[in-house]
Structure 1
Amino acid sequence: MSAGFPLSRTDRPVPESERARILAEPVFGSHFTDHMASAAWTAQDGWHDRRIRPLEPFSLHPGTAVLHYAQEIFEGLKAYRHADGSVWLFRPEANARRFARSARRLALPELPAADFLAGVEGLIRADESWVPPSDGERSLYLRPFMFAADPFLGLRPATQVVYAVIATPSGSYYSHGITLWVSDRYTRAARGGTGAAKCGANYAAGLAAEIDAREHGCDQVLYLDSEGEGTLEESGTMNLCLVTSGGELITPALGTILDGVTRDSVLTLAAGFGLAPVERTVTLDELRRGAADGTITEVFAVGTAVVVTPVVAFKGEGYEFVIGDGTPGKQTTTMRKHLLDIQHGRAEDSFGWMRRVL
């Protein structure tokens, strides 16, 4: 156990039989492990009270700042069991860096990368029995988060902050090719806004758009830019990638979208699949024309939870179109398998992305 996050073990763990039942068919975000990591920050004392402790509810004053002003950020990463029983994280250093960037944007204190890693790894060690077996696509999803804890009504940066990490066993997020609803009613972010930060307010603001998507028979929403130029940004919980007949892997440029760890990984892997990675502006008109004339052959979405998920169709107000023949593409399927194989230890990690915990 990390010396920075000492362990206080629970005396009421989930029974082994119940844990086995959950791990057999884990549902993302539905069940939680026995422990949590936590730390506190105050303007006077800085970071302190680091520990791994039993999972338990927070007790918050009704005036706690996060409940009124949404000063909060979070991360998402996974731990993977390999065939030899060892447990690994995928690129946690990248999550630590993004967590710090999000903190700066939301005027929260930056958590040192060493503390980010120690808290995550300490929780995995305490709850190793919750990491699913190495077969298939199961993993342990970890959710670090931080929020303003001041009991204070007034708009100012927090002087008291709580940091925590919780974990939930996870299976496949989507088990099929998905259809996206192109929203012309809602936007996710604007220049100078919080689109590049991973904060809860971004996702809360997208729930109405997600309802729209489901009412139109779609799995998720695709946002366009906020300036009315018709450029693609990202999906509700995912970055977007396009494969062209000319051998390019195109993804919308950063700025108002999240700098996804999986997005970056896929761009790095592209050359090995004969694809040239390109980050640039893509318009909805270009996407529609490319789908019609075959210059855009595949589309997929990427993220920690969804890995690489094929997008087979799009719908919008008064139109709909499919990509290719409406089934998951070969490049998408191959890249998904290769990334999962790296994460689960079934393929060589030539980029040094995996970090061993146990």
Structure 2
Amino acid sequence: MGCAFVPAAVPARGRHGLTARQTPTVRPRQAWAGGQPLAAPAHGGRLQATCREAAVMVATADEAAAAPQAVAAAAARLAVPPASKDLDWATLGFQFRPTNCYVRHTYRDGAWSTKPELVAEPYIKLHIGATALHYGASCFEGLKAFRTADGRVSLFRPDENAKRMASSAARLLIPEVPADLFLSACKAAVRENVEFVPPYGTGGSLYVRPLLFGSGPKIGLSPADEFTFLVLVTPVGDYYAGGPAPVTAIVTTDYDRAAPRGVGHVKCAGNYAADLLPNTLAKRAGYPINLYVDAADQRSVEEFGTSNFVGLIGNTYVTPDSPSVLPSVTNKTLATLAEDAGMVVERRTVDIGEVGEFEEVAACGTAVVITAVTRVVYKGDVITVGAGRGSDPEVVGPRFSELYKQVRGIQYGEIADPHGWCFDVYDE
């Protein structure tokens, strides 16, 4: 698939004191070894082959007798470019950092553009009447790309993010982004910024943010005629550089996250705007995360401000079943691994009074995978998770610790990926 390039109209020095980036150029998959670029292998210039394909090519060549060495050399030629040496990977944190470009597609005249634009300038020229600005016609996704133990760069479960964005789009009357276009755009965004994928072993990743919004003008309340789909990326560090630590959450009782039969089940921008005030108030009071209950009964647990609620009791993995809860890709991943380990998965109503009966409770999401929650404050009362069951509120529980390690191991290619969750960004 070809790409169109949009140059950055920026001064010689950017807003942040950085040298303005030049227009991106088409970069085939450059071969590297020992930190040095190598010549492309002589097979028609095709550099999309996997290492397994390289092995086949070598095995059928005249030098088959030296197969082990040749396979290693072929694998080196097909390795991805290394991470940049200009960033301090140990101190990244979770914040936006500029990269080379973002990928953009536009919907006009009833169809999505098939040729992606690579835009160097980190700004959007948007009509003042855009429905995203006036009516909140906007939804987004969040996923990550990882540099693996064997040198690949892979996206974790992008197919699930594509499905969820399609669901969000349908609720907001935005044209669905086809799954293949979604995946292609995410891969292209990672490839064009591959030097910003943190090195393996640092605990970092490249955060990938697909964004879909109404960019056409409408003054009356109606869907736009034009829409924009873009994918931006930024490198992020290990959220828990010192290892996961348990937190205390507070139940937000003065505000509701979502209305019954509203849009709580989709990832639209307005859901997060509504949480800005409650989340900020919780942090000012000393609580890093806040928990919401059902807007109607004010007792049934829904989810945390930016992540799902999950709990363990006996051999059962429990997560709330509510039409107002956003389906979490991380939650789905953890539930599958729990089932693989022989646990029973229950999706049901969870009363706030039941929280203390769980042996382990966690918030789960893309940014952190798992945040252990050992205390919950509800209307001034402190509920201790696992009280009387031998749980230590000062440490992360053993089973969520194990699930966390499994997810991270799969993401970094350290353990087997039996469900095929990792997508190599260079495989088309």
TM superposition score normalised by structure 1: 0.91
Please, which of 394, 398, 414 is the counterpart of residue 330 of structure 1? 398
Task: Please give the alpha-carbon distance, in whole angstroms, between the structure 1 residues aligned to 2:90 and 2:145.
Answer: 16
Structure 1 stretches of 4+ with a deviation exceeding 6 A read 8-11, 16-19
Q: 1:13 to 1:304 in 2, by over 3 A?
A: farther
Task: Give the secondary structure class of the aligned counterpart of 1:206.
Answer: helix
Structure 2 contact 90–237 (Cα < 8 Å) conserved? no
Q: 1:275 to 1:259 in 2, by over 3 A?
A: same
Residue equivalent to 2:275: 206
Task: Please give the alpha-carbon distance, in whole angstroms, between the structure 2 residues aligned to 1:9 and 1:268.
Answer: 44
> What amino acid is aligned across from residue 98 of structure 1 in structure 2?
R
Residue equivalent to 1:218: 287
TM superposition score normalised by structure 2: 0.77
Shift in Å, 1:260: 0.6
Shift in Å, 1:180: 1.1
Residue equivalent to 1:287: 355
Deviations 1:81-121, CA, capped at 9 Å, x for gaps: 01222101111111111111100001101011111011110
Task: Please give the alpha-carbon distance, in whole angstroms, between the structure 2 residues aligned to 1:97 and 1:263.
Answer: 15
Structure 2 contact 84–195 (Cα < 8 Å) conserved? no
Structure 1 contact 9–35 (Cα < 8 Å) conserved? no
1:46 aligns with 2:104: no
Task: Please give the alpha-carbon distance, in whole angstroms, between the structure 1 residues aligned to 2:318 and 2:149.
Answer: 34
After alignment, is 118-127 or 271-280 more displaced? 271-280
Residue equivalent to 1:242: 311
Structure 2 contact 202–238 (Cα < 8 Å) conserved? no
Shift in Å, 1:184: 1.2
Please, which of 87, 103, 121 is the counterpart of residue 169 of structure 2? 103
Shift in Å, 1:30: 2.2
> What amino acid is aligned across from residue 235 of structure 1 in structure 2?
F
Structure 2 contact 101–193 (Cα < 8 Å) conserved? yes
Residue equivalent to 1:293: none
Using CA pairs below 8 Å that are at least 6 residues apart, which structure has the higher relative contact order? 1
Structure 1 stretches of 5 or more lacking a match? 291-295
Shift in Å, 1:21: 2.2
Structure 2 contact 307–363 (Cα < 8 Å) conserved? yes
Task: Please give the alpha-carbon distance, in whole angstroms, between the structure 1 residues aligned to 2:88 and 2:217.
Answer: 37
Task: Please give the alpha-carbon distance, in whole angstroms, between the structure 2 residues aligned to 1:13 and 1:306.
Answer: 33
Shift in Å, 1:13: 5.8
Task: Give the secondary structure class of the aligned counterpart of 1:107.
Answer: coil
Structure 2 contact 143–209 (Cα < 8 Å) conserved? yes
Please, which of 100, 123, 131 is the counterpart of residue 189 of structure 2? 123
Shift in Å, 1:19: 6.3
Residue equivalent to 1:299: 361
1:12 aligns with 2:81: no
Number of residues of Structure 1 aligned to a counterpart in Structure 2: 347
Q: 1:17 to 1:257 in 2, by over 3 A?
A: closer
Structure 2 contact 102–230 (Cα < 8 Å) conserved? yes
Residue equivalent to 1:25: 91
Task: Please give the alpha-carbon distance, in whole angstroms, between the structure 2 residues aligned to 1:209 and 1:341.
Answer: 34
Residue equivalent to 2:219: 153
Structure 1 contact 253–279 (Cα < 8 Å) conserved? yes
Shift in Å, 1:39: 0.7
Residue equivalent to 1:314: 376
Shift in Å, 1:274: 4.1
Two-structure CA RMSD over aligned residues (Å): 2.1
Deviations 1:159-186, CA, capped at 9 Å, x for gaps: 1111111001112335522221101111
Shift in Å, 1:212: 2.4
Residue equivalent to 1:253: 321
Structure 1 contact 181–221 (Cα < 8 Å) conserved? yes
> What amino acid is aligned across from residue 259 of structure 1 in structure 2?
P
Structure 1 contact 313–321 (Cα < 8 Å) conserved? yes
Shift in Å, 1:22: 4.6
Structure 1 contact 89–357 (Cα < 8 Å) conserved? yes
